[in-house]
Amino acid sequence: MAKEHSFDITAKIDMQNFKNAINLVDREVANRYDFKGTTYEVNFKEKEKVLVLVASSDNKLDALKDVVIAKFLKQELSSKVLEELRVEDSSGGNRKATFKVVDYIESKEAKKITAEIKKMKLKVTANIEGDSIRVKGAKLDDLQKVMKMVREEEWDAPLVFENMR
C-alpha cells in the first residue's frame, strides 16, 4: 500500500511575531514626523485577542493602521490577521479603532474550502478537524496542487499550511 501524505490548513498566527510587529509599530510611530506632538496609542490585549489603536484624527488613525499592516507584512503575517470591529470617538477628541485578532477558520469558510478542494476532483480527502482542515492524499503532487489552489483563492482567514508529512 502506498504511503499516505497529509498537511493541515490552519489560521494560527505566530504570537511572538505579532508582538514584535506591535513593538516595531510603537517604535516607528514615536519617531515619525507626522506624529510629533500628537496623541496615539497602540494597545494589544492578549487575553481578549483585541488590538486597539487610538489617534488624534481619522487621518492619523489611517496612517497608524497602515504602519501596523506594513509591520505585519515584514514579520511575515497576513494583513487578514486583523478584522475591524468598530471605529468610534474616544476621550479628548481622539478616534479609536478596535480590531479582533483572527487566528481561526470559521466553520462556514472551512466548509467552502473543503468544497473547493473536492471540486478539483483529485484523489485527496479534506476533513474539518476542529480549528484546522486536514488534507490527505497518496501523491505529493496532488497535495501541492491543492495548496496552490488554496493560496490563489481569496479567503477571509489568514491561512497557513503546516504539518506536511
- Tell whether the torsion through CA atoms of 121, 8, 155 and 152 is positive or negative: negative
Residue range(s) of every CATH 3.30.70.860 domain in the chain: 5-12+104-162
Mean local confidence (pLDDT), 17-44: 85
pLDDT at 2 over 80: no
Helical (H) or strand (E) element with 86: strand 82-89
- Output the average pLDDT for the chain: 82
Cβ–Cβ under 8 Å, residues 155 and 111:
no
Question: What is the pTM (predicted TM-score) of this model?
Answer: 0.75
Residue range(s) of every CATH 3.30.70.990 domain in the chain: 15-101
Q: How far apart are CA 28 and CA 43, in angstroms?
A: 15
User: Tell me: the pLDDT tens digits for 69-95?
Assistant: 898 888 888 778 888 888 777 777 788
User: Tell me: the pLDDT tens digits for 135-165?
Assistant: 888 888 888 888 888 888 887 777 777 777 7
State percent of the chain over pLDDT 90: 0
What is the predicted pLDDT for the residue at 1?
41
- Tell whether the torsion through CA atoms of 66, 70, 72 and 78 is positive or negative: positive
Q: Does domain 15-101 have CATH number 3.60.10.10?
A: no
Q: Which residues pair with 87 in a beta bridge?
A: 97
> What architecture is domain 5-12+104-162?
2-Layer Sandwich (3.30)
